[in-house]
Every structure is written in structure tokens, then in C-alpha cells.
Amino acid sequence: MDGAEVHIDVGAELWLFLALRDQGRRLRTVHDGTSSLGHVIESLGVPLPEVGRLIVNGRVAVPAYRPRDGDMVQVQAIRRPQEVPDGPPSFVLDVHLGTLARWLRLVGVDTAYRNDLDDDALVVQANLEHRVLLTKDRGLLRRRRLWLGAYVRGALPDDQFRDVLDRFAPPLAPWSRCTACNGPLSPVGKDEAGPFLQPGTRRSYDTFARCLTCGHLYWRGAHHRRLEAIVHTAIRTVSAGGRHVEGATCPGGRAGGR
């Protein structure tokens, strides 16, 4: 099988992972006869968690398939919305995605994030808690022991946020989680919140919520318009294509949000 030639068409959604010279054309790789198709695809730069169906000579194949001389391979991107085993999906984010983590929590998506976890610890947490590992680190997505990961597209939080919501269409529950620690929020009365507030805040606001995990107190404040815009972006993105949005009520009537 030395020198076997394999022809590969990579779906356009996956071109960002290819070298510039390889984008938009049929690739020919000389195959050693022993590597799996999954290995061949990874060697082109495409992380396997980004790959959906593999078609070899018109038939569905698995990543463990060993290519033969003259094979025609189609590599398709993972379908959206992506199903997650034991869904709805929850996430753990790498250290570079702090803003995205806060925004996902703002819309009620279960999101683990710490700014001091190394790659090994991220993989352990993802596997242990069955969280999808979100990252822009392609090397991390090649970890053999990682149960499920996803590459986050976009350099800016707005683009990253839309990408993750479009890909996984998670149920939304805006204003229900602490953006600082991911804990659940519970409404509290003004009497209870009052002793912890500056007099100006106490006079200006009536609706408060407290994080049941870290105790952080939330109210509608100076940033509220910006936060509402983020919530509406999320509802629009997940609703696109007629997807059902759980708990995507207008935040106007809910306690919480600062």
C-alpha cells in the first residue's frame, strides 16, 4: 500500500482549519496505508470534533477507516444544531474566553470557567462533568481523552457568542445565573438587600437577586441596557430557524441583572 493516493474534499465550513493553499480545492494525500482516516484529516489541520459525516466513495465511513488507493473522501462539518449526549449542553471554557463565559451565564447556560486552569485540568473537568470544552486551541481539541469539545469561531465575544448559540442551541433562561460564579440566582426583597446597598442604589432600584452560591447581589444598574442587548441577541440567535427557546421571556419582569 506504499504511496496510496487519497483524494479529499473538505467542506467549506472547515476551510478555516486548512493551510491557505489547501482551501477550496481537492486535496491529494499520499497515504502510508496504516493511518486511520481520522488521523489523515487531523494531519490536514481539521480537529475531529469539528467533523460531521465522512463519506468515502459515496458511503458513510468512520474515522477509524483505513483509506485505500484511489479513495474519494468527503469531509463534512458537524451539523448544527449539534446534539450533545445527555443534553442539554453545559460547557467549560478555556482561560481565554472569560467574556464569552459571562455572557453564556447571563442567558442561563451552565458554564464553568476559571482563569487559572491548565489544559489538563480543563480536559478532566470536561470529562468528569460531561461539559463541552469550548476553546480556540486546536491542539486541545486533538486530545484523545477529551469526550467532547468545540472550536469557537470569531475573535470578538459577539461573534463567539453567536457561534456557540447557533451551534448548540442551548435552552435559555436569562437572568437566572450568577455571571461571576455560575451559581443560581434567587429573587430577594428590598428589605433583605437593603443593608448591603449604597443609599443611592437603595433609592433607585426595587428588584434584586442574590447568588445562592457566592452571595453576590444583582440589580438593574448602569450596564443593564448592554446586558439586555446581549440577552436579545441570544434569543434571536437560538430562535432562528424556528428553534424552540425555553424560558426566553422578556427580562423586564424578572428579578436580577445588574
Contacts with Zn ion by CB under 5 A lie at: 178, 180-181, 183, 211, 213-214, 216
Which C-beta is closer to Zn ion: that of 102 or that of 162?
102
In whole angstroms, give the CA distance from residue 52 to residue 61: 11
Minimum Å gap between C-beta 209 and Zn ion is 10
Which C-beta is closer to Zn ion: that of 160 or that of 182?
182
Which C-beta is closer to Zn ion: that of 41 or that of 211?
211
Which C-beta is closer to Zn ion: that of 46 or that of 211?
211
Buried b / exposed e along 32-67 (16+ C-beta atoms within 10 A): eeeeebbbbbbebebbbbbbeebebeeeebeeebbb
State the Cα angle at 26 between 79 and 150, rounded to 5°.
30
In whole angstroms, give the CA distance from residue 75 to residue 8: 7
Which CA distances in Å does 89 have to 81, 112, 191, 213? 11, 12, 37, 21
Q: Tell the burial category of 182 from Cβ atoms under 10 Å away from its Cβ (0-12, 13-18, 19+).
A: buried
Minimum Å gap between C-beta 112 and Zn ion is 13
Q: Tell the burial category of 20 from Cβ atoms under 10 Å away from its Cβ (0-12, 13-18, 19+).
A: exposed
Minimum Å gap between C-beta 236 and Zn ion is 27
Minimum Å gap between C-beta 213 and Zn ion is 5
Minimum Å gap between C-beta 168 and Zn ion is 23
Which C-beta is closer to Zn ion: that of 35 or that of 213?
213
Minimum Å gap between C-beta 175 and Zn ion is 13
In this structure, the number of other CB atoms found within 10 A of the CB of residue 215 comes to 11
Amino acid at 238: V
Which C-beta is closer to Zn ion: that of 23 or that of 213?
213
